[in-house]
Amino acid sequence: MRTGAAAYTDLLGIEFPFLDNVPGKIRIGKGHTTDTNQCNLAFCLGDSSGRPGKLTVRRYERFAGGGAGLLWFEATAVVPEGRANPRQLWLHKGTKDSFAALVKRIRQSATDSCGTEHRPVLIAQLTHSGRYSKPAGKPEPIIPQHDPYRDAMTPQPQPDKNALPKIPADPPLPMNTLTNYKTPT
């Protein structure tokens, strides 16, 4: 009898393969391996400036101290208007030192609990929320291309017919783009 997620997929009648015995080493990208079978990703919250908050720091210290080999910082915004909520992590010049301190604390927690050989792989998922942006807590979608399926699911203000477009219809190309172009052979 299978348990956990495997039992649930059996109950639903869905065929989904699960490994009963996960190998000790997992290959992560070219040339990177980890000696653990744990991968952790979590929704992260920060302060209004986008710095990692106390709960986020504590969560990742615990993941690293527990032996996780891969830690994934989910949904780290790249611009303020692309944040999904006012407390979403946001990587910029003003927060880089906070992120560096977080990485240092994660590495220290991993070393303290698992030894100097354990160095989890850290991944930051950089994102822009686009049509789901809520940087001030209310929907402020940025929609460069409309989609009849997604548009119906996203609350949108009525368009102002007198407003200028946010993205030019035909953005200019740098001059050297055309002069240096070589036809593929």
Backbone angles phi, psi at 33, to 5 degrees: -130, 160
Spatial distance between the Cα atoms of 29 and 70, rounded to a whole number of angstroms: 11
- Average model confidence (pLDDT) across the chain: 77
From 66-80, 83-97, 118-132, 165-179, the region with the lowest mean pLDDT? 165-179
Q: Which residues contact 120 (CB under 8 A, 6 or more apart)?
A: 34, 36, 63, 64, 68, 69, 70, 71, 106, 110
pLDDT of residue 181: 47
pLDDT in tens, 161-172: 777 655 555 545
pLDDT of residue 102: 93
- Check residues 148 and 88 and name the one with the higher pLDDT: 88
Most confidently predicted of 7-21, 51-65, 144-158:
51-65
How is residue 62 written in tokens?
């615990």
Amino acid identity of residue 180, one-letter, is: N
Q: Does residue 29 have a pLDDT over 80?
A: no
Cβ contact 66:113 at 8 Å: yes
Q: Specify the pTM.
A: 0.64
Spatial distance between the Cα atoms of 73 and 32, rounded to a whole number of angstroms: 18
pLDDT of residue 12: 72
Query: What are the residue boundaries of the structural domains of the chain, listed by start?
Result: 39-142
Q: Does residue 58 have a pLDDT over 50?
A: yes
**Overall average pLDDT of the 58-62 stretch:** 90
pLDDT of residue 96: 92
pLDDT in tens, 134-153: 999 998 888 878 888 777 77
DSSP output for the chain: ---HHHHHHHHHT------SS--S-EE-STT-EES---EEEEE-BB-TTSPBPHHHHHHHHHHHHTT-SEEEEEEEESSGGG-SSTTB-B-STTTHHHHHHHHHHHHHHHHHHH-TT---EEEEEEE--GGG--TTSS-----SS--HHHHTTS--PPP-TTSPPSS-SSPPPPHHHHHT-----
Q: Does residue 178 have a pLDDT over 50?
A: no
Q: Does residue 159 have a pLDDT over 80?
A: no
